[in-house]
Structure 1
Amino acid sequence: MTTSLTPLVRAPHGRRTGRRFLGDLDRPADVFRNLGPNWYASVMGTGIVANAAAVLPLHVAGLRLFGTAVWALASTMLIVLTAAWSVHWIQHRDIARRHARHPVMSHFWGAPAMALMTVGAGTLTLGESWIGAQAAVRVDAVLWTAGTLLGLVTSVWIPYLAMTEHEVRQDSAHGGWLMPVVPPMVSAATGAALVPHVPVGQERLTLLLACYAMFGISLFASVVIITQVWSRLVHHKLGPAAMVPTLWIVLGPLGQSVTAANALGTVAHSVLPAPYATGAAVFGFVYGLPAWGFAMMWLVLAARLTLRTARRHMPFALTWWSFTFPVGTCVTGTCALAVRLHSGAFVVAADALYALLLGSWVVVAVGTVRGGLRGTLFLPQAPTHAGGAAAPRLTADR
């Protein structure tokens, strides 16, 4: 089974429509026809900009207000996108089902789960001043629960499909394979903030232990997949340009695991007895620093490979949102280490990474708005894999 990721450069029937609103579509209603779960990466990428601003050690006037505004934008995007995706499932259920079993698109089912939890975490840290503390906790609890349940499903369901139905070649591994297994790590990192709001006793202990268990689910699955991605790069090189941005997804489980280890270590003192609480806090440093080091090495490697591809031509795609959320997790992880170790060097590193995140977000957001307004990002690909089913569109011409 092969899946072409070659960008379409013409609208249906060979029509080229220029800059007219949704001009690349036959009709405006086609916006819903090919709407896949990968669109939720835009919510993730926007939400992490807000969440990272809330924990950034850099004290700049208006930063929290900026973060709150971006959180409101991410919340709006989540609501609008979920409504649109509901229309997609109602009107185009056959396409939606093909997305769910597609060897590339199915992996992005992890994005809705992470989008829910990202917005939920922002609600708790930034939305409190807008909706009140009690409402913020309730909203976060609902979004975290929904995202966690969906993420636990994708962490088993999508790998199961890959093992039983998808035809996987030796050069098939890509960063997108991490998408369905990273949500439990997001649950662990964002669930730590809910621990103090759960009644003391078995309820609080259960939540903390569940977060650590989900930390393990995602960590070990990610290590297996990252190894496969590395092997594919060494033996089969980069592959299609449209998928090169997914190399940045590797930063997601790395940065999020550093965030989770330290966040859970911070709240463990209110749940566990002294020896274990101390061990949990120490684990944030003992695990976090080596993982952070590998993440920085991968960031440089991914940046170099991306620049190499961009010089040859790398068409804009929704996969470009891989430049945002994974980098954002590195920001939150770096901030956690800065607080844990009282390190000025990590403060500087966190600020630098946030600048990279902010720049990436602006570039990708502009590209998404441009491609969305033209309708290019809503076009399907031509049938290119076994069975003749249309592959979801992952790229767009600039």
Structure 2
Amino acid sequence: MTATLDRPARPTESPRGAGSARRRFLGALDSRGQVVEHLTPNWFGAVMGTGIVANAAVALPLHSAALVGFATVVWVIAALMLTTISAGFIAHWVRHPQNARDYASHPVMSQFYGAIPMALLTVGAGTLHLGAPLIGQTPAVWIGGALWALGTAAGLVTCVWVPFSMMTAERRHEVRALPAWLMPVVPPMVSAATGAALIEFVPEGQARLALLAGCYALFGMSLVFGMMTLAMIYARLLHGGVPVSTSAPTIWITLGIIGQSITAANLLGAHADLVFSGDQAPIALGCKIFGMIFGLAMAGFGVAMFALATAVTVRSIRAGMPFALTWWSFTFPVGTCVTGLSALGLALGAGPIQDASEVLYVVLLTAWVIVATRTAHAAFTGRAFLAA
């Protein structure tokens, strides 16, 4: 039930009429009200994939006014997308509640409810890093903090609700692990990574300690759940084969927990000295050392998974992989690897790792341009809003 964009022309249309419809605004739909009829939660993946382009840009070791300006424009686009898609998603629940409930209970589509908190957290992080020149420092901090709190709460819900609903669902056949299973368990890790930047804006003392400790708890929660899920997915890939057709890009989701955990471990370590000082300074040093060692070990795992995902993608493209919203899986996970390598390279003072983050950002930017262009065209014609 993942939303695909390769649906054939409706039987009532002639080939000429179908081609004409593809060129008109929302021409593939019978009415404009159909836009929200099948507005599934994986649309929030477009917000994630756009927002990470902005956040990864400001995390790079490169610093220039042009790069910051570009990142700001992309962040604004992501914020507008979040607002528009959120409004449409609410309308989807209000106007088509049965469809919404069916999607929420579907074993695959329900996983993408994890995209909602991650979209909030991604835009919130961009607000914190890029919003000050546009809206002022204080509003940027408050809005970024509010989005972080809302995204964290929603992420905790998906981390528990989606697995619980799968455990208690009545099944007629066995459900096998898919890369999409990582979507609901990764949000707490995104909260841990993005929460690090909020520490300096929280009053000193117990408040900062609570935020840092909370972020490490979120880190542990997501890491353990994520690694268990990743092990099941890897076993399924070995025994059941790789995802095919429109599901093939979802294999890139496996990189999300890897890149985001490296980011979180090193950003939390970098901000630990704001909490632990004086006699407790060795604790802050220990946090930094943990981030570096964890980052190096996990980066090795990431290289292997990146190579595997690339090989699967090349194979799928040769087989004629059609375009679908799942193509947004090419963006956010790669973006987390950019932020992870940037944070790790800065912590270690390692030039080659920082260079690798810059090269990977070019890959991310290329993927984002391609996927965003294809999505914009499919949305213009209305094909993006058709049921799978």
Q: TM class by shorter-chain length?
A: over 0.9
1:196 alignment counterpart: 200
Of residues 265-274 and 125-134 in structure 1, the stretch that sits farther from structure 2 once superposed is 265-274
Contact kept? 1:183, 1:218, Cα under 8 Å: yes
The match for 2:371 is 364
Measure, in 2, the Cα distance between the counterparts of 1:231 and 1:214: 26
What are the residue-to-residue correspondences of 1:22-33 with 2, within 5 Å?
A: 22-33=26-37
User: Which of 358, 361, 366 lines up with 1:354 in the alignment?
Assistant: 361
Which residue does the alignment assign to 1:146? 150
Contact 1:185 1:214 in 2 (8 A): yes
Aligned to 1:121: 125
> In structure 1, what is the Cα distance between the partners aligned to 2:178 and 2:217?
25
Bigger mean CA deviation after superposition, 274-283 or 317-326: 274-283
AA matched with 2:114: G
Moved more, 342-351 or 266-275: 266-275
User: Which stretch has the larger CA shift, 55-64 or 298-307?
Assistant: 55-64
Question: Is 1:179 aligned to 2:183, yes or no?
Answer: yes
Deviation, structure 1 residue 121: 0.3
Partner of residue 343 from structure 1, selected from 346, 350, 353: 350
Match of 1:89 in 2: 93
The one-letter amino acid paired with 1:203 is A
Q: Which deviates more, 12-21 or 310-319?
A: 12-21
Cα contact 2:190–2:260 (8 A) shared by 1: yes
Amino acid at match of 1:229: I
Query: 1:72, CA displacement in angstroms?
Result: 0.7
> What CA distance in whole angstroms lies between the structure 1 residues aligned with 2:88 and 2:10?
22
**1:69–1:166 Cα change, 3 Å:** farther
SS at match of 1:199: coil
1:131 corresponds in structure 2 to: 135
Select 2:333's aligned residue among 326, 330, 336: 326
- 3-state SS of paired residue (1:57): coil
Q: Size of the alignment, in residue pairs?
A: 379
1:286 equivalent in alignment to 2:290: no
Q: Which residue of 2 aligns with 1:302?
A: 309
- CA drift of 1:276 comes to 1.7
Structure 1 window deviating more from structure 2 (16-25 vs 358-367): it is 16-25
Q: Find the counterpart in structure 1 of residue 248 from structure 2.
A: 244
Partner Cα separation in structure 2 for residue 56 and residue 365 of structure 1: 22
Please identify, of 339-348 and 272-281, the stretch whose mean Cα deviation from structure 2 is larger: 272-281
Identity of aligned residues (%): 50
CA distance in 1, matches of 2:2, 2:130: 41
- Give the deviation of 1:168 after TM superposition: 8.5
Distance 2:142 2:92 in 1: 29
- Tell me the residue number matched to 1:10: 8
1:58 shift after superposition: 2.4
CA separation of 1:208 and 1:6: change in aligned 2, threshold 3 A: closer
In structure 1, the residue matched to 2:46 is: 42
More helix by share: 2
* Per-residue deviation, 1:300: 1.2
Asked if 1:214 corresponds to 2:218, the answer is yes
- Indicate the larger mover: 359-368 or 76-85: 76-85
Q: Is the 8 A contact 1:12 1:26 kept in 2?
A: no
Deviations 1:57-112 (A, max 9, x none): 12455111000110011011111111111111111111111111111110000101
Residues 345, 8 of structure 1: CA spacing in aligned structure 2 closer, same or farther, 3 A cutoff? Answer: closer
TM-score by length of 1: 0.92
Q: Deviations over 1:10-60 (max 9, x none)?
A: 244443333222111111110010001100000000000000111111245
Q: CA deviation at 1:114?
A: 0.4
Tell me the CA shift for residue 172 of structure 1: 2.5
In the TM superposition, residue 171 of structure 1 has moved relative to its aligned partner by 6.7
- What is the deviation of 1:374? 1.2
**2:105 corresponds to 1:107:** no
Output the CA distance in 2 between the equivalents of 1:161 and 1:168.
15
Alignment check: 8 A CA contact 2:4 2:384 kept: no
Distance (Å, rounded) in 2 between the aligned partners of 1:4 and 1:187: 26
Q: Name the structure 2 match of 1:385.
A: none
Indicate conservation of the 8 Å contact 2:3/2:40, yes or no: no
TM-score by length of 2: 0.94
SS state at 1:264 partner: helix
AA in 2 matched with 1:193: A
Kindly provide the amino acid, as one letter, of the partner of residue 345 in structure 1: P
Amino acid at match of 2:159: S
Aligned equivalent of 2:324? 317
**Most deviating of 5-14 and 161-170:** 5-14
Matches within 5 A, 1:255-270: 255-270=259-274
Give the Cα–Cα distance (whole angstroms) in 1 for the partners of residues 299 and 352 of structure 2.
Answer: 13
- Say if 2:4 and 2:324, in contact at 8 Å, map to a contact too: no
Secondary structure of the 1:18 match is helix
Label 1:153 to 1:117 Cα distance change in 2 as closer, same or farther (>3 A): same
- 1:165 maps to which residue? 169
Match of 1:373 among 360, 367, 380: 380
RMSD: 1.6
Equivalent-residue separation in structure 2 for 1:73 and 1:18 (angstroms): 25
Q: 1:98 to 1:151 in 2, by over 3 A?
A: same
> Which aligned pairs between 1:71-90 and structure 2 lie closer than 5 A?
71-90=75-94
Contact 2:107 2:166 in 1 (8 A): yes
